[in-house]
Chain A
Amino acid sequence: MFIADIKKDFYDVVANQRVALLVAADIDALCACKILQALFHCDQIQYTLVPVTGWQDLSTAFLEHKEQIKLLIKEDDDLGVPTYDDIFRDEDEEEGEDSGNESDEGSEPSGKRRRFDEGAIERRIERQRAKRQWEARRREILFDYEQYEYHGTSVSKMNCREKKSFIHFGLDGYVAAMWAIIGLTDQWVHDKIPHMKYVSDIATVQRHVSRHNHRNEDEENSLSIDCMRISFEYDLRLALYHHWSLYESICNSYYTACSFKLWTLKGQKKLQEFLADMGLPLRQVKQKFKSMDTTIKENLRDVIEESSNKYGMKDIRIQTFGVHFGFKNSFLASDMVHAAAALLESTERDENDPTDNFIKALDALSRSHLDRLLSGIDLAKKKLIAIQQTVASCICTNIILSQGPFLYCYLMEGTPDVKLFSKPLALTLLCKYLLTAFIHSTRNKRCKLLPLIMAAPKDVEKGTVIVVGIPPESETSDKKNFFGRAFEKAAESTSSRTLHDHFDTSIIELKSEDRSKFLDALITLLS
């Protein structure tokens, strides 16, 4: 959505109408959806929530609802929005209605529909000509713009930032801040924004949160323990470690696993040395974190930071937030992201409706469905273990091949847990971990600067694979991903049967038979 700054304009327009909310299937969009839902509930605005998984879904949903709605709100943190102008324009043209307005309001489409005026044929012809010219120019601009796809500020954070103008609507900024934090952490976990941006965004949110915390805690902590508290933490980068054992968490978080190279025997020994260096007995470290000795837990973070500096892991601690309510429930933002992502893409049951999973993931983010969140955490643990094992087997069997301008890896159908990796988010995570692991394990200097393309079987009956490309790993990368355009061009030139449906253009579906010629085309394109 291209509203620049003043959300007040948007909200006032929307306030008295019925709204259709089309939400993409990733955690940032979910968080923004939650914020908007809270707003709509408070002001009793009717809305329809439609989860969409790709451009086709988006257009179907739009066509279904177009009779009743005038303004579309699509939530996506990716700035590839202008394309939905096409949807507006195409189907209006089919119906032959007077849609001349839309060429004027390119970036803020409010598709006002007017009845076909029979007497205005000349006006129409003139307008159509102007429109064609405009469209040609637009295509040029869009091509340059979409060449590098990257993610703008997290949508939920944008929503939260405009909170100030919402204060007079009385929105509880605190709960919205929680969702903004989760959306931001999702971008960081799935590697969509560079580290610097994450840190600066965290600082902004921290200001909001501390302002609210100060307001509440003037007389000696008089707030009930049941109220939700958000606290700023400089916590460890180990995934889910509060809900798991410390040992498991170290083994299954990509940062530690790759630094120690835990797929080798030497790596395992190094891990044991590391634990011994810190003075943590193995028995303690292997039991559930909540039941660990409190004397050990007190200085755990500092002790780990000291030791990890010795072993070359400089960034073991990261600034993040934790949510606490009640005595038992405290979650870090990254825990919630992992849980929600695992629920969103769960392959537990065979005929799972994507809408079902979407609703489950949405529930997990709210405070009243703690059991959902806990089941999400369990699923996330399984997912992380699966990712780690797959990475280990890929590195050990050397199935990552250097194809020249990029690295390539194909997951065979018989690989365990391969069903998990037919989903885009899980596959992207696997890709990222694999690339880091590969960089740590290879000696070839040139290979360390290459991007990675990964393919995994998506649907065995239809014979399709899902292909994901991620940019090369580097300290100062701004995470711009050129694979979207590259995939499109390669598909065109070899006339492979591809589906560029996903909002993230670097993820596509491909027929398995066309895989080899697609790859060859890519190699020639990128070299």
Chain B
Amino acid sequence: MDPSEVEFLAEKEFVKIIPNFSLDKIYLIGGDLGPFNPGLSVDVPVWLALNLKQRQKCRILPPEWMDVEKLEEIRELERKEDTFTPAPSPYYMELTKLLLNHASDNIPKADEIRTLVKDIWDTRVAKLRLSADSFIRQQEAHAQLDNLTLMEINTIREFLLDSLNCMYKLRSNLQPGATKGQFADY
């Protein structure tokens, strides 16, 4: 999966905006989007919010988890624990990037939020690498990791699966005379 595909999936998440135009309820295939009235907040998917923002037709409100104190707590918790703590949002990395690139004037303390989210990401990916490393080294049969987000899984998926494939081939070659001549060129 491409990271841009993950971002595309992330754009389906809902976010609150305050439009400055009025429009009746619209009926889309994915669902209905409530009537738009200037000055009243309404929930829309991120793709629509960004489009409206770029056309200067709305103001985006930061999601609840995008707050400096909350993110600081999550970061401290993440650093303390050995396992993964629940992420602020299943698409926290993509949403941060999208919202801070296009609507940073609507989000207070945008620079600190960017730093905090990056810290959380770094900690989690480091834990993931450590865990994958120990999995391969100890040649475990199965493992379970909770609270991973799609972006993190996507980061490690290709490498982990390829390395497990290589390990399998190496292991199967050790068996005397078993798969001689059947070695498919990888």
CB <8 Å contact, A170 and B20: yes
User: A211-243: which have CB < 8 Å to B?
Assistant: 216, 219, 222-227
CB <8 Å contact, A224 and B104: yes
Could you tell me the distance in whole angstroms from the C-beta of B20 to the nearest C-beta in chain A? 5
The answer to whether A301 has its CB under 8 Å from any CB of chain B is: no
User: B102-119: which have CB < 8 Å to A?
Assistant: 104-105, 107-111
- Answer whether A227 and B104 are a contact pair too, CB < 8 Å, given A168-B20, A222-B109: yes
- Answer whether A223 and B105 are a contact pair too, CB < 8 Å, given A168-B20, A170-B20, A170-B21: yes
The answer to whether A189 has its CB under 8 Å from any CB of chain B is: no
Partner of A224 from the list B20, B57, B111 (CB cut-off 8 Å) is: B111
- Cα distance A226–B57 when bound, in Å? 21
Partner of A225 from the list B55, B57, B111 (CB cut-off 8 Å) is: B111
- Give the B interface residue count (CB, 8 A): 13
- Cα distance A490–B182 when bound, in Å? 98
The answer to whether A316 has its CB under 8 Å from any CB of chain B is: no
Task: From B21, B105, B107, B111, name the one whose CB has the most chain A CB atoms within 10 angstroms.
Answer: B105
CB <8 Å contact, B21 and A224: no
Residues of A within 8 A of B111 (CB): 224-226
Partner of B57 from the list A42, A216, A222 (CB cut-off 8 Å) is: A42
- Answer whether A224 and B55 are a contact pair too, CB < 8 Å, given A168-B20, A170-B20, A170-B21: no
Residues of B within 8 A of A449 (CB): none
The answer to whether B147 has its CB under 8 Å from any CB of chain A is: no
The answer to whether A8 has its CB under 8 Å from any CB of chain B is: no
- Cα distance A172–B52 when bound, in Å? 13
Partner of A170 from the list B56, B100, B109 (CB cut-off 8 Å) is: B56
- Cα distance A224–B62 when bound, in Å? 14
The answer to whether A275 has its CB under 8 Å from any CB of chain B is: no
The answer to whether A418 has its CB under 8 Å from any CB of chain B is: no
- Cα distance A41–B57 when bound, in Å? 12
Could you tell me the distance in whole angstroms from the C-beta of B40 to the nearest C-beta in chain A? 15
Find the B residue at minimum CB distance from A225.
B111
- Cα distance A225–B108 when bound, in Å? 11
Mask of A480-511 contacts with B, CB within 8 angstroms, 1/0: 00000000000000000000000000000000
Mask of B111-145 contacts with A, CB within 8 angstroms, 1/0: 10000000000000000000000000000000000
Residues of B within 8 A of A224 (CB): 100, 104-105, 107, 110-111
CB <8 Å contact, B105 and A170: no
Find the B residue at minimum CB distance from A227.
B105
Residues of B within 8 A of A43 (CB): 55
- Cα distance A390–B10 when bound, in Å? 61
Could you tell me the distance in whole angstroms from the C-beta of A515 to the nearest C-beta in chain B? 53
Residues of B within 8 A of A168 (CB): 20
- Cα distance A162–B57 when bound, in Å? 18
- Cα distance A41–B108 when bound, in Å? 27
10 A-B pairs within 8 Å (CB atoms) are namely A41-B55, A170-B55, A172-B56, A219-B108, A222-B108, A223-B108, A224-B110, A224-B111, A225-B111, A226-B104
Sample of 13 further A-B pairs with CB below 8 A, known A172-B56, A219-B108, A224-B100: A42-B56, A42-B57, A44-B55, A168-B20, A170-B56, A216-B105, A222-B109, A223-B110, A224-B105, A224-B110, A225-B111, A227-B104, A227-B105
Residues of chain A having any CB pair with chain B under 8 Å: 41-44, 168, 170-172, 216, 219, 222-227
Q: Which 9 A-B pairs have the closest CB atoms?
A: A224-B110, A222-B108, A224-B104, A42-B55, A170-B56, A227-B105, A170-B20, A172-B56, A170-B57
Residues of chain B having any CB pair with chain A under 8 Å: 20-21, 55-57, 100, 104-105, 107-111
